[in-house]
């Protein structure tokens, strides 16, 4: 089907560059780009396997609050700063 479409200059140039680099026609690149965009917005994207997490030993002992580690580091840095200033 033939139709007239008005593209933003930046989109036109990007499509043109892709066509040039892939040695494809502008029409083919435009059609493939539209198909890819529509498949993402319509939920037709390629089915990927579900994401899974493999647990790893983090070497942090039970009972240690990881959220407080940054606070501890801040306290140590503040102590170093005070020591560098020559204050008790």
Domains of the chain, by residue range, sit at 9-41
Cα gap 26→20, rounded to integer Å: 8
Percent of the chain with pLDDT over 90: 34
In this structure, the number of other CB atoms found within 10 A of the CB of residue 33 comes to: 14
The tokens for 56 are 């790893």
22 vs 66 pLDDT, higher one: 22
Cα gap 30→1, rounded to integer Å: 14
15 vs 72 pLDDT, higher one: 15
* Phi, psi torsion values for 42, nearest 5 degrees: -100, 5
The reported pTM is 0.47
């Amino acid at each position: 089907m033939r139709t007239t479409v008005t593209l933003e200059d930046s989109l036109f140039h990007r499509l043109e560059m892709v066509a040039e680099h892939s040695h494809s026609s502008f029409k083919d690149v435009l059609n493939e780009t539209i198909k890819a965009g529509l498949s993402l917005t319509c939920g037709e994207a390629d089915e990927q396997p579900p994401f899974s997490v493999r647990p790893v030993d983090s070497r942090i002992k039970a009972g240690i609050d990881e959220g407080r580690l940054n606070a501890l580091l801040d306290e140590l840095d503040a102590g170093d700063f005070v020591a560098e200033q020559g204050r008790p």
